[in-house]
Amino acid sequence: MDLHKIIVKFFVADPSSVKLDEFIPVFHRWIQKHAVEGTLIDVADYGHLPQGPGVVLVAHEADYFMDTMEGPLGLLYNRKISAPGRLPDRIAAAFKAALVACAKLEAEPEFQGRLRFRADEALFLANDRLHAPNNDETLQALRSDFSAALAKVYPSNFDLRRVSEDARRRLSVRVTSRAEVADVSSLLARIG
């Protein structure tokens, strides 16, 4: 499957522990310090929109959102341009980029002790309805690529479940680990 526009989201364990506007200065600082990979461009605040994209760190290759649109508050990594490698490698790279950003946010002074991301669950979205329509056939076709990619992330088995049956929506797959996972840093260490 020729899928390059990949989205991965990790959810905040306690969304009430932080406010969206707290991420704005942090993302601006990330631009100044080149804190995450890519050509970082700007920060956009959509926090005034209910269940919207929240706060966005805009980059050339991929955007980073503190998002409330795709489920509860979480960090959403949105790969926009083609990435090298086979599909399992691209999926694993998207998970790694999201985990790196999650770990960095947890370590920011503003959030220490308050912000923690759930490691046992993630959301995968295919942002390409042409190459990955939202149906069971696509999920079946992706299953071996998911297994190869997620074996690098999770220590044991995981469940994959489509979030919506609506063919008009993007393919959204909830990934749930069957093993107890300590934190996002543990997952990041597994990927290397």
Return per-residue pLDDT of the chain as tens, 192 residues. 788 999 999 999 999 999 999 999 999 999 999 999 999 999 999 988 888 899 999 999 999 999 998 889 999 999 999 888 999 999 999 999 999 999 999 999 999 899 999 999 999 999 999 989 999 999 999 999 999 999 988 877 889 999 999 999 999 999 999 888 879 999 999 888
Domain that holds residue 92: 6-191
Structural domain includes residue 1: no
Structural domain includes residue 36: yes
Count of domains observed in the chain: 1
Structural domain includes residue 91: yes
Which pLDDT does position 33 carry in this prediction?
A: 96
Place of tokens 């997952």: 187
Structural domain includes residue 170: yes
Structural domain includes residue 157: yes
Whether the CB-CB separation of 145 and 88 falls below 8 Å is answered with yes
Residues 6+ apart with CB under 8 A from 49: none
As a whole number of angstroms, the distance between CA 170 and CA 34 comes to 31
Q: Using a CB cutoff of 8 Å and minimum separation of 24, what contacts does 23-27 make?
A: 23/54, 23/55, 23/66, 23/105, 24/55, 25/110, 26/105, 26/108, 26/110, 26/111, 27/55, 27/57, 27/64
Structural domain includes residue 112: yes
Which pLDDT does position 181 carry in this prediction?
A: 80
As a whole number of angstroms, the distance between CA 134 and CA 109 comes to 40
Output the six-digit token pair for 111: 């959030």
| The model's pTM | 0.94
